[in-house]
Chain A
Amino acid sequence: MSKRVAIVGIGCSGFRTTSTDLSYREMIFEAATKCYEDAGGIHPQSIDSFVASSEDFMEGISIADEYVPDQLGAVLKPVQSIAGDSLQGLASALMQIKTGQQSIVATSAFSKVSNLSHYEKVAAYATDPAYIRPLKEHPYFIAGLEMNRYLFDSCSTREQCARVVVKNRYNAFLNPRAVYGAKITLEDVICAEPVSAPLGQFDISGHLDGAIVLLLASEEKALEMTDKPIWIKGIGWATDTPNLDSRSEGLGSAHYAKLAAEKAYKMAGIKSPVKEIDFAEIDDTFSYKELQHLEALQMCGFGEAGKLLEMGCFEPGGDLPVNVSGGSLGIGYLHEANGLQRVLETALQLRGEAGKIQLTGVETGLAFAWRGIPTATGTAVVLSNRL
């Protein structure tokens, strides 16, 4: 179980609000081709196994395995489907290599959310049919409840949440993969139409179509395939109770994130996350989530994220750049592909291939994905360009 595992190939396609010209197959094929070329031109015949993450209701399909093999080159190969965020798929791919069963594993996820008429109905179906759904609330009410309690518990402010939106959408300007880049003001965010107050229209990330494929390899294979391996140093994931009214440490906390990060840090041998992590790509599905997650991930103390944000600590030039890519608020929300999107941005930074958003001298990055409402599931990954 001591095998080290690296990301050796990165590919993506789409990253548009609609993609009517391409089927999901054609979009994923493009991402897979780019990924395999990036890994030195490997043919999928030489890949041992494939892991795809998706949620059937998002695509209007069932038995997702049927929709996986061709476009990844996985015909007649071991294929696994994960009904969860793609970082859970990444964890599964990692374990296949760690156990010594496979040496090279591809993992993929995509979003074709533009094909879905009512995302909110799919989200509503994730709430209990007996005691939540009959209340007939738009599922964003959960984010409103969380945000309100988080602000109350942490003494963070509405303005600080708005500042997250301003930062991430501005960062997105320089990222070619980001769709929602905008120069907006705190006032724009605060005065936007309320959705489920205090949550407003601008506090919510916009939807996006896109596909991402990553290739993972054991240390031995990785060193043969690329001169820029990005090592997966640690990974952890956790799920809290689905009961909205009895979440551990309350709806204002993100306890799942804390537990996931603790496991990832332990595996990576990280004792002081603040000192040892150079930058972070973390979930910002909703504005407050970035602050809440930063605290849960031990990037700062509880209730401190908002103040540090105001001081500029999380800006690209700050002590801990957070979502330099633009995050979900700036890039767009890729549903189950969100996790791989955060790893993609982190890995490009660590390779020194992030273009205009490149940070200098970064060695270790943190990627964290939340599975979105109504879940309390999160996965943290520590990546590094040093073995």
Chain B
Amino acid sequence: MSEKLKVSGGTALSEEDIRSGKIFVTEDSLNCAYAWDTGVAINRYLAELKQGRIIATECRKCKRVMLPPRLFCELCFIPCNTWRHVKDTGTINTFSICHVHWDASRIKEGEDPHLPAVIEIDGASEGMGIMHILGEVEPEKIKIGMKVQAVWKPETERTGSINDIKYFKPL
């Protein structure tokens, strides 16, 4: 706002006014829990991850081997019941060097940047992949087209989650 403009009326509020309760404040939290039914396809996907394997489904019509697996092909619009294990290696389709945390706070001095990437998995159809993170790599050395492999958590620590893969590292 231009400095020439003068406040035409009203009362400016300070953070202290809010904190001290000088003005009307109401606090509430939604406090709702949601238990998502993962369904057939994602349930099996997660169960296989717990075993250290990646599973996909294949469409009998368009022959795409799809990740994450799904019970229907969204393009052919037919059910898919053919399950295929795919490799835990793949190729970086795209990546980013992320200097902010998920809540938009900046990474601290000396903290490694986050390295989200889309990895096209070997054995799945072209363009089909897993959105995950990269590790054991210098950010400046990451390239699109680089071959990578999953680094799994130890079997006893796996819970049936996409985080059962710690990250993907260059091969």
Using CB atoms and an 8 Å cutoff, list the residues of chain A in contact with chain B.
19-27, 29, 32-33, 36, 43-45, 57, 59-60, 69-71, 73, 75, 112, 114-118, 121-122, 125, 129-130, 133-134
Contacts and interface: CB of A to CB of B under 8 A. Distances in A.
**Interface majority SS (helix, strand, loop, mixed), chain B:** loop
B35 interface: yes
The 3 lowest CB-CB distance pairs between A and B, nearest first, are A23-B39, A60-B34, A70-B74
15 contacts: A19-B37, A21-B39, A25-B70, A29-B71, A36-B77, A44-B77, A75-B75, A115-B35, A116-B34, A117-B32, A118-B33, A121-B30, A122-B30, A130-B24, A133-B28
Nearest to A209: B37
A3 B32 CA distance: 45
A118 B35 CA distance: 11
Interface string B92-123: 00000000000000000000000000000000
A209 B19 CA distance: 43
Interface residues of B, number: 22
B39 A22 contact: yes
Contacts of A33: 77
Contacts of B40: 21-23, 26
A122 B72 contact: no
Nearest to B34: A60
Nearest to B35: A115
Given A25-B70, A33-B77, A133 B26 contact: yes
B20 interface: no
A115 B36 contact: yes
Given A75-B74, A117-B35, A129-B26, 11 more contacts: A23-B39, A25-B39, A29-B71, A44-B77, A57-B32, A71-B72, A117-B34, A121-B30, A121-B31, A130-B26, A134-B26
Interface of B: 24, 26, 28, 30-42, 70-72, 74-75, 77
A26 B33 contact: no
Among B37, B38, B70, max chain A CB count under 10 A is at B37
Among A22, A23, A121, max chain B CB count under 10 A is at A23
B43 to A, nearest CB: 8
Given A116-B32, A118-B31, A22 B74 contact: no
A114 B33 CA distance: 11
A117 B31 CA distance: 9
Contacts of A112: 37
Given A44-B77, A70-B74, A115 B38 contact: no
A75 B34 CA distance: 27
B26 A122 contact: no
Contacts of A43: 77
A69 B74 contact: yes
B51 to A, nearest CB: 21
A27 to B, nearest CB: 8
A42 to B, nearest CB: 10
